Chains A and B, each alone.
Chain A
C-alpha cells in the first residue's frame, strides 16, 4: 500500500476497473489503509492540503473550518486517523479535550464571544461527514441559534427506562463489579414488574423487532454493511442478555452470570423494557 495515492478522477476507465476489482479483494484492514490515504484531513495534517493552522503539537492540530458555523469555528484533529470516538485511545482523547479547553479559552478571550460549543459527531446518523474523528469548537453569541439543541423535560418513566437499559453496560465499561449492579437491576426490575413475568422462551418479541426493521436494515446494509449489521447483531444478544441475566439472578442469587452474556437469543424477555421501547425512545 505504499503507492502514491491517485485521485479517482485521474484514473482511466481501465485503471478504474482494476481498482474496483482490487477493492473487492481487499481485507478490511487494507481498505482502512486506503481510506486513510484518501482522507482529506490526513492530507491536511501532512500539509499536502493547505489550511489555516491555529495550533499544532505532536498529537493534534487545530485549523479554522473553511465553512464555519460562526467566525472562529475550529476543527481540532488528531494527527493519527481514527473514525469515531470509541476508536480514539484514551490518552489521545484526553489530550484533545485538554487542548479544547485551552482553545475554547482563546475563542472566549481572543474573539470576545460569550460561549463555545464543543461538538463531536460519531457516525453518519450523528451528522459526521468526514471519516476522520475531530472536535468542533464553535464560538457562540447570545441568541445566534447555531445549533438547535433545545432541551425539554421528559417523563420519569422514560428516564428510568434509559437508565435501566444502559446502566449495566456503562458500569461494566467503567470497571465496576458486576455483582452490585445486578442486585440493583434485580431490585429495579422487580419494582417495575411486580410478580407477573413470563418465565421462558418468549422469542416472538425478538422476531417482531426484526420484522419491523427488516426493510430499513436491508437498505442500510447495502450502504454501510459493517456498522449497521454489526451494531444490530451485537445489540440484540447484549440487551437481551441483560434481561436474562437479571432473571438468572432471581433464580440463583450470586451465581456467575458471565456465561449468560453471550447466551443465545432464546431467553425470555420482560414485558416492560423491550428493545422496541428503547428503540422508540428515539422517535
Chain B
C-alpha cells in the first residue's frame, strides 16, 4: 500500500508549496477546514525518524503557515499538532505537522481534562523518563552512522573515541 502523503506529492492541486525536502499541502481528511499540513518529502513514519535538518525545515514552514492563517483565514488562534503514532490518532504513516486554525466559535474542543496524579507516581514517572534520557537516542545514533559514515570514521580515527560513548556524552 502506498503512503497517502507520498501519493499527494503527485497531485499538484493540493500542494501549496514544495521543495526538495518538504511539502505544504491542504489535505482532504482533516479535523477542521483551513487545516494545513507540513510534512517531509521523504517517508519517515514518526518524528523520531526525521533527521534534524528536515525537522528544522518542517518547523520553519509550520511557523510560517501558522503566521499566514492568522491573516489569510482570519484565525484567532492556531493549534499545532503532531500525531506521533497510531494511538495518538496518526492516520497516515508519514510524519507531518498539522496547523489547525481556530476561532472562538468553531465548536472544536481539542482540550483534555487534567488528572490528579499522586506525588509518588509523579516521581516514578520522572525517574523513568530521566533514565531513558541518559540512554543514547537510537534513531539519532543510527541515523548519523548511516549518513556520515565517512566523517564518523575519520573522527573515530583521530580521537580514538568510541562513537557510542561520544553520542552518550552528547545526549543531555
Contact = CB atoms under 8 A, between A and B. Distances in A.
Contacts of A68: 114-115, 117
Interface residues of A, number: 97
B87 A142 contact: yes
Interface string A32-63: 00000000000000000000101101000000
30 contacts: A54-B126, A55-B133, A67-B116, A71-B115, A72-B125, A94-B56, A97-B55, A101-B47, A104-B84, A105-B138, A110-B133, A116-B84, A117-B82, A117-B84, A118-B82, A123-B76, A125-B77, A126-B110, A127-B111, A147-B81, A151-B29, A166-B36, A166-B69, A167-B17, A171-B17, A174-B24, A174-B61, A231-B74, A278-B72, A281-B34
A102 interface: yes
B56 to A, nearest CB: 4
B72 A168 contact: yes
A275 B91 CA distance: 31
A152 interface: yes
Interface stretch (B101-109, B147-155, B156-164): B101-109
Contacts, number: 302
Interface of B: 13-14, 16-17, 24, 26-36, 47-48, 50, 52, 55-56, 58-61, 63-91, 100-107, 109-117, 121-123, 125-126, 128-133, 135, 137-140, 171-172
A14 B2 CA distance: 69
Nearest to A175: B64
B64 A113 contact: no
A101 B48 contact: yes
A158 B35 CA distance: 11
B48 A170 contact: no
Nearest to B66: A85
A170 B73 CA distance: 12
A276 B137 CA distance: 48
